[in-house]
Structure 1
Amino acid sequence: MPGTVAPSASENTLLAEFVVAQVDGLRGAGYGLTGEQLRATPTASALSVGALMVHGCHTAGGWLDRAEAAPGRAPSDAVAAEDWQAGYADDFRVREDDSAASLDAQLDELAQRVRALVPGLDLDAQVPVPDDSPWWPAGVDGWSVRWVLLHLVQELARHAGHADIIRESIDGATMYELMAGREGWPATEWLTPWQPPAS
């Protein structure tokens, strides 16, 4: 089935590919959007497709830094509270020079990093619990790298689904149509790949 992660005997490979599948969901939601559409907020949400793409990229990158540094702390975890708050807001900011293509390229780099890094990680290594935000639990010293990667699947899937709803509200395009258009699938009786409107 299109969009389904291929079986593997390697747990590391499976985790990497499930993370990448969710990254691809964010990439698909932004495929072909204009700058205005990328920043549009047509639903009850205050977020745009672009904001979710930016946030997904930053959040996953931070978690990968932590997994790579385990059992030590990632350098980015040594952030003062006021700097963290500014950084969090920045995680959702679509910059003036951002485009669907540039954000897609950043997410593609993220996917390549996942595929290069995760196969070599010790899934049982302990990742120290971040202390840079108020929602992390007290009294927990660390999570395994495995937990971190499963958390990334959860987090990115939530944001990709959110982006799907916003995208459908913009122009009616849905995930399989966008996937087909982005990956160049041929048209079939049941699916017409999405194409940008004729100008």
Structure 2
Amino acid sequence: MDANARPVADERDGLLTFLAQQRRVLKIAAHGLTEEQLRLVPSASALSVGGLLKHVAHTERGWTDRIGSKPRTGSVEEYGAEFRMTPDDSLESLLAAYDRVAAHTEEVVAGVADLGQAVPVPDEPWFSKDVEAWSVRWILLHLIEETARHAGHADIVRESIDGATGYELLAAAEGWEPTPWLKPWEPVGSA
């Protein structure tokens, strides 16, 4: 693989491909982290790489459920818990949950005949009262935006933990050969 999304065939394929690429970038931020490091909150925010993985999976599932007319309900406390890892959470469990969400998204979107299909806007204070519905297309674009935003957060958190950057991690995770301008990440003390 390389660092870019693959060529796309059409709009639906493009939206799903770019969403998958952003998921991949977010998951790469966790490459090589210990369970302890996955929980670290090294910046001024309350974000950890594990908490970001957990939140984005919950968020994507909520939006795809909304497409399928199964809106998610929950409290402010439940929303905040989406960002926090529990003692039962592990990198393996978070990645597996995220992969299940991705498969669910693919399934839901495959079942939509028209990306212009209306999806009612939730009755929550941060959504416009002037819009009655978005399209499935809008939701997929929003998921790309949301995932990319949090992938950027994860990059900053990860770099604060051990200095690792996205391309170094991608090269390590995918076994790229070192080049004069890019050396795959290695854990401290392994070289």
Equivalent residue, structure 2, for 1:11: 11
Which residue matches 2:70? 74
3-state DSSP of counterpart to 1:30: coil
Aligned to 1:160: 151
Report if the CA contact (8 A) 2:26-2:150 is conserved: yes
Aligned length: 189
**Residue 177 (structure 2) aligns with:** 186
Rounded to whole Å, the distance in 2 between the matches of 1:195 and 1:104 is: 21
Deviations 1:125-145 (A, max 9, x none): 0010012x3201113110000
**Aligned equivalent of 1:50:** 50
Question: Is the 1:34–1:99 contact (alpha carbons within 8 Å) kept by the matching residues of 2?
Answer: no
Q: How far, CA to CA, are the matches of 1:54 and 1:23 in structure 2?
A: 12
- Indicate yes or no: 2:109 matched with 1:118: yes
The answer as to 2:60 corresponding to 1:60 is yes
Question: Structure 1's 181 and 107: CA in aligned 2 closer, same or farther, altered over 3 A?
Answer: farther
The answer to whether the Cα contact below 8 Å between 1:32 and 1:196 also exists between their aligned partners in 2 is yes
Q: Which residue of the partner structure matches residue 83 of structure 2?
A: 92
**TM-superposed deviation, 1:75:** 4.5
Deviation of 1:19 (Å): 0.8
**Residue identity opposite 2:109 in structure 1:** V
Task: Give 1:197 shift.
Answer: 4.1
Q: Does structure 1 residue 128 correspond to structure 2 residue 120?
A: yes
Identify the residue that residue 39 of structure 2 maps to in structure 1: 39
Q: In the alignment, which of 140, 156, 166 is matched to residue 131 of structure 2?
A: 140
Give the alignment's TM-score, normalised by structure 2: 0.90
CA distance in 1, matches of 2:71, 2:119: 13
Tell me which protein shows more helix as a share of its residues.
Answer: 1
Structure 1 portions without partners, runs of 5+: none
**Structure 2: gaps of 5 or more residues:** none
CA shift digits 1:110-129 (9 cap, x unpaired): 33333444344220000100
* 3-state SS of 2:75 partner: helix
Moved more, 167-176 or 189-198: 189-198
Cα gap change, 1:189/1:119 in structure 2, threshold over 3 Å: closer, same or farther? farther
